[in-house]
Amino acid sequence: MTWTEQKVPRDHVPVESGGIGVLLVNLGTPDAPDPPAVRRYLAEFLSDRRVVELPRLLWQPILRGAILTTRPKQSAHAYRQVWTDAGSPLAAITAEQAAGLQDRLGDAAQVRWAMRYGTPAIGDELQALMDAGCERILLAPLYPQYCAATTATVVDKAADKLRTMRWQPSLRTLPPYHDDPHYIAALARDVGEQIDALDFVPEVLLLSFHGMPERTLRLGDPYHCHCRKTARLVAEALGRANLRIETTFQSRFGRAKWLEPATDAVLEAEAKGGTQRLAIAAPGFSADCLETLEELAIRGREQFLEAGGKQFATLACLNARAPGMAMLETIVRRELAGWI
């Protein structure tokens, strides 16, 4: 043993060294569907300057005042409607995706998962990978379309952890995969199969993406363009002449103008304009969550049917089913090239 090794405290030495890690990251979700837990989650999420790009001195009083006194109660009600025995759908599905990817990668890499807001925290999971001997880590934000409010903030948070380390791992990040042929093929196959399994033939398929303030498009965020490209490629890959496919943006928050057309407005307009049978998919969400299970599947259905629509279906996200997992394995292995 060399002099340096003798000087290194035993508990700071990885158990095994030279390992490869993969950290899957999604947005985050409350620990429980009750107002205090939702308040903690929203406080962290909506204090992120990547998410709400307003000066702190202006935004924090609004957040701590109007928003955090009313929204946690409303959102907790929404979360209760989608909560499962395994907890929040977003966390449960992300855990399943990590387990599925671990099975597929075997001994080649250790896979863990984290949430940008709440738990399990990115810093803790990076540490766990390092403690398990990983010196090279692929950070994989599970957002197909790049957005500063989602992708960049994951990298920021990982960098915050690295900033505290004397001995850092080597880090790679998974690039956005909005136009990756494997992602498009997985979506086309999965969406196509789900449409074929419906008990009705939809006239219209809405591809609904999470919205963003329109200003971010003008500031150069590629998110809107990525969503549009995904939608165009999925429509081409589906190749269904009798199915009209439209792109919309959901989950508007606050008073600023958001990307349009808005999903809720289009659902109403379609029904009022005579569309009777409609299906909706959310290709930007890698896992089902509040925004798909409550906003689309519950409220979206009500909006469409109340406006005169007759049949409505929300299609599941790729989640941990085979087409999505095969795609994830392929794009992760590609980024691990040279490491494994």
- Per CB under 6 A, the segment of 10-18, 58-66, 248-256, 270-278 that binds ligand L6N33NVT is 248-256
Nearer to Fe ion, 113 or 117 (CB): 117
Binding residue per annotation — 291? Answer: yes
Query: Residue 7 burial by CB count (10 A; 0-12/13-18/19+): exposed, middle or buried?
Result: exposed
Q: Name the nearest CA neighbour of 67 among 33, 27, 37, 39.
A: 39
- When asked if residue 221 is in the footprint of ligand L6N33NVT (CB under 6 A), the reply is no
- State which of residues 75, 153, 314, 319 lies at the interface with ligand L6N33NVT (CB under 6 A): 75
- Per CB under 6 A, the segment of 10-18, 93-101, 191-199, 286-294 that binds ligand L6N33NVT is 286-294
71 interface partner picked from ligand L6N33NVT, Fe ion, none, CB below 5 to 8 A per type: ligand L6N33NVT
Give the residue ranges of DSSP H helices in 51-152. 56-62, 68-82, 89-105, 122-131
Task: Give the start-end residues of each E strand in the chain.
Answer: 19-28, 110-117, 134-141, 170-173, 204-210, 244-250, 277-281, 311-314
- When asked if residue 146 is in the footprint of ligand L6N33NVT (CB under 6 A), the reply is no
Nearer to Fe ion, 251 or 330 (CB): 251
Nearer to ligand L6N33NVT, 52 or 281 (CB): 52
- When asked if residue 251 is in the footprint of ligand L6N33NVT (CB under 6 A), the reply is yes
Query: Residue 298 burial by CB count (10 A; 0-12/13-18/19+): exposed, middle or buried?
Result: middle
- When asked if residue 223 is in the footprint of ligand L6N33NVT (CB under 6 A), the reply is yes
Element (H, E) at 16: none
Strands 170-173 and 134-141: parallel
172 to 191, contacts with ligand L6N33NVT by CB under 6 A? Answer: none
Binding residue per annotation — 302? Answer: no
Nearer to Fe ion, 135 or 291 (CB): 291
284 to 323, contacts with Fe ion by CB under 5 A? Answer: 291, 295
DSSP secondary structure letter of residue 285: -
Separation of CA 248 from chain center: 17
- Per CB under 6 A, the segment of 101-109, 275-283, 284-292, 313-321 that binds ligand L6N33NVT is 284-292
CA distance 47 to 173: 24
CA distance 127 to 65: 35
DSSP secondary structure letter of residue 54: S
CA distance 247 to 261: 8
The residues of the shown chain that bind ligand L6N33NVT, judged by CB under 6 A, are 27, 29, 42, 51-52, 71, 75, 88, 90, 143, 147, 149-150, 210, 212, 223, 251, 253-254, 284-285, 289-291
What residues form the annotated binding site for Fe(2+)?
A: 210, 291
